Amino acid sequence: MAATESQASAMLSSVLRASAGLPVEDALVVESLAYSTLQSGPEHQAWLASRSARQLFVAREPVRLSRAGDMLRIQLNRPERRNAINAATRDGLLDAFAIAEADPSLRVEWTGIGPSFCSGGDLDEFGTLTDPASAHFIRTTRSLGAAVHRLRDRITVRVHGRCAGAGVELPAFAGHVIADPDTTFLLPELAMGLIPGAGGTVSLPRRIGVERTEQLARSGAAIDAATALHWGLVDELG
pLDDT > 70 in the chain, percent: 93
Other C-beta atoms lying within 10 Å of the C-beta of residue 95 = 12
Q: How far apart are CA 181 and CA 45, in angstroms?
A: 37
The structural domains of the chain, ordered by start, are: 7-50+62-231 (3.90.226.10)
Other C-beta atoms lying within 10 Å of the C-beta of residue 175 = 15
The overall longest dimension of the chain from CA atoms, in Å, is 58
DSSP H helix total and E strand total for the chain:
11, 9
Q: How confident is the model at residue 122, as a pLDDT?
A: 86
The number of angstroms, rounded, from the C-alpha of 140 to the middle of its chain's C-alpha atoms is 14
Who's near 20: CB < 8 A, 6+ residues apart?
205, 210
pTM of the entire predicted model: 0.93
Whether the predicted pLDDT of 141 surpasses 80? yes
Chain segment 91-105, per-residue pLDDT in tens = 999 999 999 999 999
Q: Give every strand in the sheet of 155-159, ordered side by side.
A: 63-68, 71-76, 107-112, 155-159, 176-179, 236-237
Q: Are 94 and 147 in contact (CB under 8 A)?
A: yes
DSSP state of 52: P
177 has which bridge partners? 157
Chain segment 168-222, per-residue pLDDT in tens = 999 999 999 999 999 999 999 999 999 999 999 999 999 999 999 999 999 999 9
Query: Concatenated DSSP letters for 115-127?
Result: S-S---B-GGGTT
What mean pLDDT is predicted for residues 36-55?
Answer: 84
Q: How far apart are CA 96 and CA 81, in angstroms?
A: 20
Chain segment 82-135, per-residue pLDDT in tens = 999 999 999 999 999 999 999 999 999 999 999 999 999 888 777 566 688 888
Q: How far apart are CA 195 and CA 184, in angstroms?
A: 19
